Amino acid sequence: MIGEILDSKYRIDKQLGAGGMGNVYLATHLGTSRVVAVKVIAPKWAKEPQFLARFQREAQACGRLRHPNIVNVTDFGVAKATGGDMPYLVMEYLDGQTLTEFQKANPQIALPLIADLLDQIGLALTEAHRHGIVHRDLKPDNIWLEPNGRGGYTVKVLDFGVAKVNLLGQWTPLPIETPVAAAAGEPPAADDRTPAEEIETIALAPVPSVLSSGSFDSGADAKTMPGSLVGTPAYMSPEQALGKEIDFRSDIYSLAVVAYALACSRLPFTGTQSGLLEYHQSGSPLRPDRVCRIPADVSDAILSGLAREPADRPLSAIVFTRRFHNAVDVEFLALRRSKAFLLQHLTAYALLLTPIYIAVISMTALIIEFSKKILPGAAPRVLFVPLAAAALFIFSDNVLRATAALIAADEQVRVRRFLWFRVFWKLVRMLPVLIATQVQSAFFVGPGWVVGDCLWPVICVVEKQSGRAAIQRSRDLMNGLRSAGRALAVRHFSLAVLAMAEAANSLRLLWRHAPVEQETLVIASLWFPVFSLFAAAPLFLYDRTAASESGPLLQLDRTPEVRITARALSTSSTIWLAVVLIYMLYEAVKIWLSSAR
């Protein structure tokens, strides 16, 4: 076809690719000189009505979609050619490579880049699902990476030829006309005149060919198979492989398989096609963090999309990709953007922090003096004062978190210049709610206790919840973000732990019958402003897990990509934890040396 004119409109310049059911050519539109890609059905399939219907379905599906991450189809037609009609599909020409080719050249892809690619794929799928379109053949060969000129890639989802088109909320079962699998040794029934509606039924023939082991091979097993099998076996959801009713959640499963393969350089299942059916019925994938060195949160995010039951998968493709992205970099970004938020509102922070800071120092001094009056003996004061000071420091840090949320919320609704005292009085009115919720969080023991409690001050502000409802909401949102929860917990409790370490020092003095002086707790409280650096971190976490698509509370630039490790804590969090542990060890050694004298 090279050099020929197709349908009096397109000059075929060269062949770009070939597949089992057609070829793709680089062409030029004669009227506009625009360079396009033209996809034509292979001659042996051009006379089959079901493949013509597939082309029409792809044109109709893409014609309903306008999204930067979905290939733009511009024309569809049937040209007259020697030997019969030649259906063709015209789409925008894309520079770059498929995800298959990209991973061959880059076997170890950084997690932040994987997260960025999945984000774009998720946006494309969500747009398709919003229009009632299920892709049904999502795989690396159908994902195109186009360099964006900024060191990254723009993703384009291709090939909606086997898409299932319906209205959202009205998914209907596909007619089951073909058996799920033929009997052993018996070839699958093949009727070339089967209506297009019936070829959408999934059927796997027991061909003992070995599926790809995870390298993005474009061989036979990675191609969409004609006839009764619609889709690519290695990337099919269980319900699709078993010929059951499917909806948009089938694409979420396929997206999770892509994520698994990108992160681990292998597929979750390796074996024969007949073994794939058994795997979908009773098997489970190996945890990704056991295959390669990735954080456990990232592994959990991938496995959430690989759930056998569709109801157990994330609610949408965006929810899945957001959870993956959060697991990859949310700890670093939360801490970094918290500091940026502080600098952006430095004046307001300074004015709001001053009364809180004065209150913390004053309350610490009052606790010490008050304890001397109600607890004349030194022994009871050894435990009471550090405990009270630790509780004060923890609560004051949560007040700072609520303050950051109030500042961000005020920015969303203000109609005049920001006034810091407006936020201050809102904070004063919220104090009873914050105090009550803080008390309940100390005794509401359960999954996520301590590590998952960092968001409740933000929830009290944004969602107007309080008490156990706010605490449980925080733990639900932090599920799957254990690394970020640990990082914030280390910072949140560090000053409180130092206050408790004062109890060890007091015990040492009490053991030596020396006067117990706990005024050093006031000095410890002087470090409290350091907490303001991380006050907005829970706000960012809330944005990444719960904020609606209308826009986040934080309006900050994206931060650079960072190297992600599989360690439970980042380097900075480890340093914070080490400082506290060293100080406690120092106090313990002092007690031991004092007792030895």
If one compares 524 and 219, the residue with the highest pLDDT of the two is 524
Give yes or no for residue 287 having a pLDDT over 90. yes
Q: How far apart are CA 138 and CA 441, in angstroms?
A: 44
Q: How confident is the model at residue 45 (pLDDT cuts 50, 70, 90)?
A: confident
Q: What number is the average pLDDT over the span 478-504?
A: 83
Element (H, E) at 154: strand 153-157
Q: Residue 526: which of 491, 493, 499, 489 has the closest Cα?
A: 499
pLDDT confidence of residue 116: 93
Higher pLDDT, 166 or 29: 29
Among the ranges given (107-121, 199-213, 293-307), the one the predictor scored with the smallest mean pLDDT: 199-213
pLDDT at 136: 87
How far apart CA 187 and CA 180 sit, in angstroms, is: 13
End-to-end C-alpha distance for the chain, whole angstroms? 97
Options 119, 137, 251, 289, the catalytic residue: 137
Report the distance separating Cα 168 and Cα 129, nearest Å.
7
Burial classification of residue 475, based on how many CB atoms lie within 10 Å of its CB (0-12 exposed, 13-18 middle, 19 or more buried): buried
Question: What percentage of the chain reaches a pLDDT higher than 70?
Answer: 73
- At 514 the pLDDT is 56
Tokens 């994902």 locate to: 143
| Helix (H) or strand (E) segment spanning residue 269 | none
Cα distances (Å, whole numbers) of residue 257 to 161, 260, 516, 571: 20, 5, 62, 31
Average pLDDT for residues 576-591, to the nearest whole number? 63
Structure tokens at 228: 């009764």
pLDDT score of 471: 94
Q: Count of CB atoms within 10 A of residue 131's CB?
A: 15
pLDDT of 168 strictly over 90: no
Q: Which long-range contacts link 439-448 to residues 24+ away (Cβ below 8 Å)? A: 440/467, 440/468, 440/471, 441/471, 444/468, 444/471, 444/472, 446/475, 447/475, 448/474, 448/475, 448/476, 448/478, 448/479, 448/485
DSSP structural state of residue 188: P
Q: Cβ distance 317 to 128 under 8 Å?
A: no
In this prediction, residue 248 has a pLDDT band, given cuts at 50, 70 and 90, of very high
pLDDT, residue 35, reads 93
Per-residue confidence (pLDDT) for residue 177, from 0 to 100: 34
Verify whether residue 312 is a known catalytic residue: no
CA distance 160 to 54: 9
- In this prediction, residue 518 has a pLDDT band, given cuts at 50, 70 and 90, of low
Residue 186: what pLDDT?
38
For the chain, what percentages of helix, strand and coil (3-state, to nearest 5) are there?
Answer: 55, 10, 35
**Most confident residue range from 163-177, 269-283, 380-394, 427-441:** 427-441
pLDDT at 373: 78
Task: Give the CA count within 13 Å in the CB-facing half-sphere of 127.
Answer: 19
- Residue 556: is its pLDDT beyond 70? no
Placement of tokens 């049937």 in the chain: 78
Residue 279 CA to residue 259 CA, distance in Å, equals 19
Assign 62 a pLDDT band (cuts: 50, 70, 90): confident
- How far apart are the C-alpha atoms of 111 and 494, rounded to whole Å? 30
**CA 339 to chain CA centroid, nearest Å:** 23
Residue-wise pLDDT for 442-490, tens only, equals: 999 888 888 889 999 999 998 999 999 999 999 998 888 888 888 888 8
DSSP-assigned letters across all residues of 478-543: TTT-HHHHHHHHHHHHHHHHHHHHHHHHHHHHHHTT-----THHHHHHTTGGGGGGGTTHHHHHHH
Instruction: Compare 506 and 90 and report the one with higher pLDDT.
Output: 90
pLDDT at 402: 94
Query: Could you give the CA distance from residue 439 to residue 164 in angstroms, rounded to a whole number?
Result: 52
pLDDT in tens, 292-303: 999 989 999 999
Say how many CA atoms lie within 13 Å of 213 toward its Cβ.
1
Q: Which residues, other chains included, contact 112 with Cβ-Cβ below 8 Å and sequence gap of 6+?
A: 328, 329, 561, 562, 564
Helices (H), 444-478: 456-462, 467-477
The whole-model pTM stands at: 0.72
Average pLDDT over residues 538-551: 72
For the stretch 372-390, pLDDT in tens is: 777 776 677 777 888 888 8
229 CB-contact burial (10 Å; exposed 0-12 / middle 13-18 / buried 19+): buried
pLDDT tens readout for residues 399-412: 999 999 998 888 77
With beta carbons less than 8 A apart as the criterion, state whether 406 and 433 touch.
no
- In order of their start, the domains of the chain are 5-92 (3.30.200.20), 97-313 (1.10.510.10), 328-544+565-596 (no CATH)
